Amino acid sequence: MSPNLTALRGSVAIAGVGTFGCGKTPGFSDMELLAGAAKQAVAEAGLTMQDIDGICTASVSAPMWPMPVIEHLGIRPTFIDGTMLGGSSFIAHLMPAMLALQSGQCNAVLVCYGSAQRSSTMNRREISKTRRMLDPQPYEHPYEPMLPPSAYALSASRHMHEFGTTREQLAEVAVAARQWAQLNPTAYDRAPMTIDDVLNARMISDPLTVRDCCLVTDGGGAYVLVRADRAKDMPQKPVYVLGNGTACWNRQISSMHDVTTTATVDSGRAAFAMAGMTPGDIQVAQLYDAFTINTILFLEDLGFCKKGEGGAFVANGAIAPGGRLPVNTNGGGLSWGHPGMYGIFALIEAVRQLRGECGDRQVAGVQTALAHGNGGTLSSQSTAILGTADTL
């Protein structure tokens, strides 16, 4: 770990967060959902949009997305980052934003996202065809797999074969997420669900049923970053960025050397090193759970348990309310919602837990939290470790 990166620990704080239109919100565009969340985050930080002089944003469908966002919000930033790494983007944006703030290039960075994925009138089949041209995957597309589910099903099948992970253990992940969602009035799906409900649901890509797969929802999310010294005088309890790491080893899952080990190994190691912490120091974990296998893989690759032991780690309600490690306390992508790319919402939930704002789902005494984003098909990975003032 570079001494310069270690020196960034706690130098920047999240001063405001916002979500808008999450769930099913017909009549709103991606931009309108983004703008709604951005306005909330900026206002919560006690700022106006004219105070924002840095922006990070990304979109699946628009390669030059930062430009219309800047235009729509009416800002003139001196720092702009439009790096697109899939669902991990909005956690990966932390590091360049921190560097820009610490260099004095800007004073307040807005990270924002919006997706009308569920309610959009655009034909999703046509969108899929377009993406195949713009983002070709030569070792996979010729065989016409059902992507992304079939990629994650491949990883799940291999994990089951190699380590003895069971379908019931995968189902534990979905049930735990649902139990957290039942404590969250903003979650999209709060209906009771059992292990058998997951196992007996409609098959999507063997061994994954529809309940092993994330929801398809609308929503916007945003957060505001400022230097730590400034955050102390702002309206909200500051949440400090203690560590951040991003890694990418592949685009296609067929190019992974081992489909049960992800680049999270590197992103997590970097984040923990920067924070000067270990998995044992983390009190809540928000992990990108596009599929049930994700949670198991990331718990292993982040070091919460050894490789191959993720299934046993989540068994018997261990990551559910009252378990040994609270995971995805908002309900996650499996039950809270999944507006195309989920990473920003994992980070927002970590912030709200650290600020003690989560009502019935609040974990008592939280001072440290981890948020992890995943992009593509187990492709890009980004890990953030956040803390309260007591952790500095």
**Pick from 291, 270, 290: nearest CA to 370:** 270
H helices of 276-342, in order, are: 292-301, 310-314, 332-335
Question: What whole-number percentage of the chain has pLDDT above 70?
Answer: 98
User: What's the mean per-residue pLDDT of the chain?
Assistant: 95
Domain count, the chain: 1
Does the residue 149 lie in any domain?
no
C-alpha to C-alpha distance for 31 and 177, rounded to whole angstroms: 29
Alpha carbon distance 98, 95 (integer Å): 5
197 found inside a domain: no
Residue 387: strand pairing partners: 240, 368
Q: What is the pLDDT of residue 1?
A: 55
Bigger pLDDT: 17 or 144? 17
Instruction: Sort 146 into a burial class: Cβ within 10 Å, 0-12 / 13-18 / 19+.
Output: exposed
Write the single-letter amino acid at 241. Answer: V
- Closest among 67, 79, 74, 91 to 39, alpha carbons compared: 74
Coil vs helix vs strand at 20: strand
Q: What domain range includes position 338? A: 3-119+215-391
Instruction: Count the helix, strand and coil residues of the chain and give each as a percent rounded to the nearest 5.
Output: 40, 20, 40
The answer as to whether 165 is a domain residue is no
pLDDT at 4: 74
Residue 329: predicted pLDDT:
98
Side-chain half-sphere of 211: how many Cα atoms within 13 Å? 25
pLDDT at 145: 86
Residue range 255-287, pLDDT digits in tens:
999 999 999 999 999 999 999 999 999 999 999
pLDDT tens per residue, range 76-134:
999 999 999 999 999 999 999 999 999 999 999 999 999 999 998 776 677 677 777 77
CATH of the domain at 354: 3.40.47.10
Would you place residue 2 in the very low, low, confident or very high pLDDT band (cuts 50, 70, 90)? low
With left for phi above 0 and alpha for psi between -120 and 50, is residue 221 left, alpha or beta?
Answer: beta
- Asked whether residue 151 is assigned to any structural domain, the reply reads no
Higher-confidence position of 130 and 221: 221
132 in a structural domain: no
Instruction: With a cut of 60, say whether residue 356 has pLDDT above it.
Output: yes
C-alpha span between 149 and 377 (Å, rounded):
9
The pLDDT of residue 124 = 66
DSSP letters for 93-142: THHHHHHHHHHTS-S-EEEEEEE-TTT--S-HHHHHHHHHHHS--TTTGG
Averaged pLDDT for residues 343-358: 98
Question: Is 303 inside a domain boundary?
Answer: yes
66 falls within a domain: yes
pLDDT in tens, 316-329: 999 999 999 999 99
Average pLDDT value for residue range 64-86: 97
Is 209 contained in some domain?
no
